[in-house]
Structures are given as structure tokens and as C-alpha cells.
Amino acid sequence: MRPMSFPQELTDSDLFVDLAPLLGHALQMKCEGLNLGGSIKLRAAASMVAAAESSRLLREDSVLVESSSGNLGVALSVIAANKGLRFTCVTDARCNRTTAATMRALGAELLVVEEPDPEGGYLKARLDRVRALCAEDDRYVWLNQYTNPANWGAHYEATAPSILKHLPDVDVLFVGVGTGGTAMGCARYFRDSGSHARLVAVDAVGSVTFGQVPGPRLIPGLGASVLPPLFDPEIFDDLVEVAELDTIRLCRTLASHGMLFGGSTGTVVAGALQWLERYDRGRTLSSVCISPDMGDRYLTTIYDDRWALDNFGPEALLPLRPPHPIGPVRLVRSAAGAPDLG
């Protein structure tokens, strides 16, 4: 590998972790958090900034602004610092201390929304704040990860091809949904490439993305309180929701085996395990999931016993092994009933 001159170049990872010995299913996990942004969002951030530069949207006095619960904010902080740009991240009270400190260390300005919108939650409140900033000052350039085609384009061009290069005959792809960028880029590439893989989108309980009732969510990353414009559920075969309790238990189980991953990763792997426990009882399917983030930013939440106990009770500390198995799959929609992957 050639030496990298810019942090945003360090996004091409072909690292896959085999989770079969731990979970009992042929599930491989593509690790996307081993870069200087600490998450898969570095791909989207690099793609959106490059598109803005190509379109000549950035002036010498421009200030990048974005709404983020954490990971994209860190990724844009990395790129802005490297390029000598100013960056303002509009986040909310759920952004954990480590993530906020990371962005500030990289030179970003944080505007923290303390109160959620009565109907659209923290996300709508953040978006309203971004729109107000842009209306007040034309120096602000909003990349808008929620509608920007360069978001999903980054995963169509790189993430998905890397998966199919490694696993050309994979039976099932599990991918989490936040803004919809990773999910849509990968799904579109899989469809266009002619892959036979079943596409399973994974979200958090309490998110409205799959048309479900909104509810409280404590773990930032996946999920949304406003329908993400990029996401098209019809391209997916199955839609699976994961309770945050299962996310926490899955994360802590991985950590007990030396693998410290983030909340978004825990949600995706928990959704994959629930789906596989229901449909892969013969242990014959080859599957892959995408790990968006690492666990260091969750040390004061998911991996803190007191936080887990206070918010989810003693069950949060139980391992995902008999007699304490993971919860049943929450299948929101299945396009074709039980999978036919033969």
C-alpha cells in the first residue's frame, strides 16, 4: 500500500472478521471504522467534500456545516482540519462526550441542540438549526448528508465492490440504516451487479425509517426521527428492527471476546444474528454485514456498567449465550416471505 498524504485517503479497508466461531453462523463482518475518522462516515464525508469542490461550492471564506449525531461530524472535522476549512457541527444532547471532545480537538465548532422538536425529535431540531445558519450567513455550505447523492455514491463506488470482491457468492448482506447512504449505495450496487444476495436493512427500534412509531433512542448512529430522503425500502428484501437492549448486549459480548465495536455495529450484528437464527437454522448461508464504527466513543455509555444498568436494567449485562439468547427477530417487512436462496 502506498503512503497516504491525506487522512481522507485512508478509507480502503479489506478487513473482514469471521464471526462464525462466536455466533455459530457463517457471518463475516466488514470493518469500516479503522481509519482516521473512526467510522464508515469518512467515506461519505470525503465523497461529499470532493463533490462540493468539483462544483465550486467552496470559497476561501466558506464554513462547512452539517447535522450529525457524531460519526459524520468527526469525519468532517478530520477533512476540514486537513484542508484548512472551518467546520460547524450541529449535534444534540445524545452526542457522547468522547465524540464531542474529538471534534473540538480537531478544530470544529459544536452547536448542541438541547431540546428535540415535538414532532421530528432531535434530528428535525438539528436540521432547523442548520437551515437557520445558512439563511443568516451565505458563508455556510451545507453538504446535507440526508439528500446528497455523493453520500450513497461513495458506497456504490467502493464499499459494495469491496464486499463482492471478497465474497462474490455471498447469500445475504446486512446493512444498517442511518441517513440511508451506506444502505442505498450497497443495495444499488448489489442489484446492478446481478448478485443473488438477499438484502436485509437493519434499523433501531424507535426510528421512523421503516414507517414505525417513533420512540426514544439513547444510542446515536443508526435510526432517524425524520424519514431519510435517500432511503428506498423497496430495494430491500427484508427490514429488521433491533431493540437497543440487544445492541448493548451484542456490543458487550463482542468486547468480551476482544472486539470493541460501536453502537451502530452492535445494532447491525444483532439484527443479522436475529435474522440468521430464524432463517439459517441449517447453518448453510454465507452472509456478510458492515461494521460502521469502533467502540472507543461508547466507553461512557454502552460499555459503562452503571449507564447500562440505569437505562436498561440488569438484562443489559447478560451475555448472548444460553440461557440468555438474543431476542427474536423484529421483521418489519419481508418482500418475499421466507428466503429462497437456493
Give the span between the Cα atoms of 245 and 100, in whole angstroms: 24
> Helices (H) and strands (E) in the chain — how many of each?
11, 11
Which tens digit of pLDDT belongs to each residue from 10-36?
666 789 999 999 999 999 999 999 999
Which tens digit of pLDDT belongs to each residue from 304-339?
999 999 999 999 999 888 778 888 999 998 875 555
Instruction: Yes or no: say if 74 and 103 are a contact pair by the CB < 8 Å rule.
Output: yes
pLDDT < 70 regions, the chain: 1-5, 7-12, 336-342
Quote the pLDDT of residue 342.
40
* C-alpha torsion sign, points 51, 56, 60, 65: negative
**What does pLDDT average to over the chain?**
91
Instruction: Yes or no: say if 54 and 47 are a contact pair by the CB < 8 Å rule.
Output: no
Which tens digit of pLDDT belongs to each residue from 140-174?
999 999 999 999 999 999 999 999 999 999 999 99
Quote the pLDDT of residue 320.
84
Q: What is the pTM of this model?
A: 0.92
DSSP letters spanning 315-340: GGGS-SBTTBPPPPPEEEEESSSS--
- Angle, helix 244-255 to helix 263-279, in steps of 10 degrees: 100
Which amino acid makes up residue 10? L
Give the span between the Cα atoms of 112 and 93, in whole angstroms: 6
Query: Strand, helix or coil at 113?
Result: strand
Quote the pLDDT of residue 230.
92
